[in-house]
Structure 1
Amino acid sequence: MGWFLRKCARVRVLTVVGALLAVQLGSLIAPAYACGCGAMIPGAQQRVTVGREESMVRWDGRQEQIVMSLTVDGDAQKAAWIMPVPHRATVKLGDPELFTQLAAATAPVHRDRYHFWPQDGDWPLVTGDGTSAGAPPPGAAAPGVGVVGRQQLGPFDVARLTATDPAALNGWLDSNGFVMPPRLTDALQPYVDRRWEYVAVRLTPATASTALSGTLDPLHLTFAAGQPVYPMRLSRLARTPQSLGLYVLADHRMETRTAIGGDRPRTTFAGRVTTTRGPLAGLAKGTPYLTAIGQEFPDPASISGDHVLRPAPEDTPFQQVIYEDHLRTVAGVPAWLLTVVGTLALAVTAATVFAVRRSRARNQQTPTFVRPTS
């Protein structure tokens, strides 16, 4: 009976959307959720989801900076976030205004567009409910682990680690309150092989009795980089489709080297930063070109590595344009209706004139017979 109950518990855990943890030695472990640039791990018997993630990469040819903002939800009163980095990283709190400025700088342009003939939503092409017929209704170090720094940043307890063995990293995290699942241990092996380091962050809410919820303060990481890279490999552990939204500041327009197993990346904005105030202006000094990249990963298990960024062939600017379609009118009356009515009126008038003239011509051509007198 005990074996049967443990098996049922395992099935329930595996059905949790986005869960990254499996059953370990028959005990229930809380699910960890992948986010685009790392892995989120809640406390035991708790859950946490990353509902939205915004990231910015800045690269000046020698140094890379990544600023991340996560919006989380769940019942976890503590969680850990683990991110691999290629070199020793420094960590500080980021400015939340950065993402507000980035959203404004890359927002689509709205333009009016007029059409002559009626389309879906225009009279008389409107359904009975008034909608158009075609409108559609993010401690002590264990062997093989080096603790290179630990700091408290607002609500974050940040540990910077090196590790030559993922099992040793697992042991250190466990002894310091971070529970890492076996699947995540395996996923970290490529980073261990390449001698990357890790940033492990313990997240706690402002009040101990409340759960982690809402948008967390951004974290700002800085490390040396010969080429810009955005870690994505851990997202392959996700069980639901993933979406990437990435801002890149550099000398030139940037693009991803490959699709790394997802849909084709798309550029949603490319252009020079013009703002002169706020955190975006400071980060744009020396890296004035901003590129916004979006990508979908319908099958996260297909993610084959990390995103390596490179300069695009040309610094062609691009901005999305959203057209507002309007039916062309004259004094509030659809132009097509005036045209149709006018054309019909002209046709009727022309036909009437033609009939009158023809009738007159016939009358003029009718011979007059004079009765002879006797």
Structure 2
Amino acid sequence: MKRRILALLFALLATQLGSLISPAYACGCGAMVPDGMSRIGVDREVSAVRWDGRAEQIVMRFTVGGDAKRAAWIMPVPGRATVELGDDRVFRDLAWLIRPERKARTYFWPRDSDWPFSSGSSDGATAAPPGAGAPAVGVVGREQLGDFDVARLTATDPDALRDWLESNGFKLPDRLATELKPYVDQKWEYVAVRLAPKEQGKPLRGELDPLKIRFDSDKLVYPMRLSRLARTPQSLGLYILADHRMEPSSPIGGAAPEVTFAGTVAPEGAVGELTGGKPAFLTAIDQRFPEPSRIDGDHELRAAPADTPYRRAVYHDELLTVGDGIPVWLLTVIGALAAMAGAVTAAFVSLRIRRRRATA
């Protein structure tokens, strides 16, 4: 078993025996290539990663657009992998776990929507701010999973890998072989996927079925190097379920990763199945890659210095009131007016007393 950990994989592919041009897009987990002169783009990539220090499980889902009716995709993995269909509910459950905390934030003076300016009320919401054998290419396994035709491969030569993929319907650009060479040198393996559409002739659009990959590894790695081939900005979202808060060791050429949630969770449902029913520390990370060509390696994730929790907050602005909803500002104004009236009355009484004394 290889001693490096992988992260994610997703898949979108197709059976196309025609020639392909250089990829219109690549995704954060590997290389994706459309057929012919068509185009395909990843609007959003979301991945859930479970790592217990010994093995990694990745569930990936892409939302794609474009006019491609077929596409090919390959993902390097650091060890022998198993592949199965993922549970789409995992992303719904994770979105619920990281939902923002609602907090009330009061203000003193009335606003346009408050009495006496208006009889209505309004809410203000702001958010504060996841070893090859003797043959050049070996087929470890091949299976049909829903819409996906998945091949698990080993390779000692990037050109041989490319040739095998092309002979089996995975027509990939020549320059992809260059980007694959570092993985070949490290003796990584590959998951190659092609999409077998249910409805022939329709373009690949919307959310694709998630795939789940598992392999042994003592390090958490998220393959990103192949995303250097992308022609448009890339967006990566990671949900990491581990024993501690996790963080990328470097931005690898992208914008600074943004943590959108960090905290211990006791998940149920699909996420609970991913963690084996055990509590885990969930770290949700978003990252953008405005210039994919600057990506200089794979994400290596490590434990953060401390398991500091973080949760976004959505503030509900409310007029400060007391009792049965009486505005504090109104009581303050009434009190101030009463005090002024009292002072005026006292001054008037004092003036009358002085006049009486003066005429006595």
Query: Distance in 1 between the 2:48 and 2:191 partners?
Result: 17
Shift of residue 107, structure 1, vs aligned partner: 1.3
Partner of 2:339: 346
- Please tell me whether residue 237 in structure 1 is matched to residue 229 in structure 2: yes
* 1:38-65 superposed Cα distances (whole Å, 9 cap, x missing partner): 1211111211111121101111222111
2:348 corresponds to which letter in structure 1? V
2:266 is aligned to: 274
Aligned length, in residue pairs:
330
Instruction: Tell me the distance in 1 between the aligned counterparts of 2:122 and 2:233.
Output: 31
Structure 2 contact 232–291 (Cα < 8 Å) conserved: yes
Note closer, same or farther for the CA distance 1:299–1:341 as it changes in structure 2 (3 Å cut).
farther
The answer (yes or no) to whether the contact 1:250–1:287 under 8 Å persists in 2 is: no
Alignment of 1:161 onto 2:153: yes
Give the letter aligned to residue 336 of structure 1. W
1:38 counterpart (27, 30, 36): 30
Name the aligned partner's letter for residue 300 of structure 2: V
Contact 1:70 1:218 in 2 (8 A): yes
Query: CA-to-partner distance for each residue in 1:292-348, whole Å, 9 max, x for gaps?
Result: 12223233222221111122233333322222122224666653355235424532x
**TM-score by structure 2 length?**
0.82
Question: Aligned match of 2:288 in 269, 286, 296?
Answer: 296
1:247 and 1:50 map into 2 onto residues whose CA distance is: 18
Change in 2 beyond 3 A, CA 1:131/1:251: closer
Taking a change above 3 Å as real, the CA distance of residues 131 and 30 of structure 1, as seen in their structure-2 partners, is: farther
The aligned counterpart of 1:150 is: 142
Amino acid corresponding to residue 339 of structure 1 in structure 2: T
Which aligned pairs between 1:214-253 and structure 2 lie closer than 5 A? 214-253=206-245
Q: What secondary structure sits across from 2:94 in the alignment? A: helix
User: Conserved in 2, the CA contact under 8 Å of 1:110 and 1:324?
Assistant: yes
Flag the 1:297–1:75 CA change in 2: closer, same or farther, 3 A: closer
The change in CA–CA distance for 1:28 and 1:218 in structure 2 (over 3 A counts) is closer
Structure having the higher Rg: 1
CA contact (8 A) 1:30 1:44 kept: no
Bigger shift: 225-234 or 186-195? 186-195
1:361 corresponds to which residue? Answer: 353
Structure 1 counterpart of 2:232, which letter?
T
- Please say if residues 39 and 83 of structure 1, whose CA atoms lie closer than 8 Å, have aligned partners that are also in contact: yes
Letter in 2 for 1:161: L
CA RMSD of aligned residues (A): 3.0
- Taking structure 1 as reference, are residues 59 and 28 closer, same or farther at Cα in structure 2, changes over 3 Å only? closer
The one-letter code sitting in structure 2 at the alignment partner of 1:49 is G
Q: Which residue of the partner structure matches residue 192 of structure 1?
A: 184
CA distance in structure 1 between the aligned counterparts of 2:227 and 2:108, rounded to whole angstroms: 48
Indicate whether 1:211 and 2:230 are aligned: no
Q: Within the alignment, does 1:335 sit opposite 2:328 as a pair?
A: yes
CA separation in 2, counterparts of 1:166 and 1:294?
A: 31
Instruction: Identify if the C-alpha distance between structure 1 residues 74 and 253 changes in structure 2 by more than 3 Å, giving closer, same or farther.
Output: same
Query: Corresponding residue for 1:262?
Result: 254
User: Which whole-Å CA distance do the structure 2 matches of 1:161 and 1:116 have between them?
Assistant: 66
Contact 1:31/1:46 (<8 A) preserved: no
1:20 is matched with: none
The runs of 5 or more residues in structure 1 that have no matched partner are 1-26, 369-374
* Partner amino acid, structure 1, of 2:299: H
Task: State whether residues 20 and 35 of structure 2, in contact with CA within 8 Å, keep that contact through their aligned partners in structure 1.
Answer: no
The 8 Å contact of residues 122 and 327 in structure 1, kept in 2 or not, is answered as no
CA distance in 2, matches of 1:338, 1:179: 76
Say if 1:328 and 1:334, in contact at 8 Å, map to a contact too.
Answer: yes
- Name the stretch that deviates more: 32-41 or 314-323: 314-323
Structure of higher RCO (CA pairs closer than 8 Å, 6+ residues apart) = 2
Change (3 A) 1:115 1:77: same
When the two structures are superposed, what TM-score results if normalisation uses the length of structure 1? 0.79
In 2, distance between residues paired with 1:31 and 1:62?
35
Cα distance, 1:354 vs structure 2: 3.6
Paired residue type of 1:296: R
1:79 aligns with 2:89: no
Residue identity (%): 57
Letter in structure 2 aligned against 1:172: W
CA deviations over 1:135-185 (Å, ceiling 9, x no partner): 99x9xxxx7322222111111011112222222222222222222123333
Instruction: Report what 1:108 is aligned to.
Output: 100
In 2: Cα distance, 1:235 partner to 1:52 partner: 14
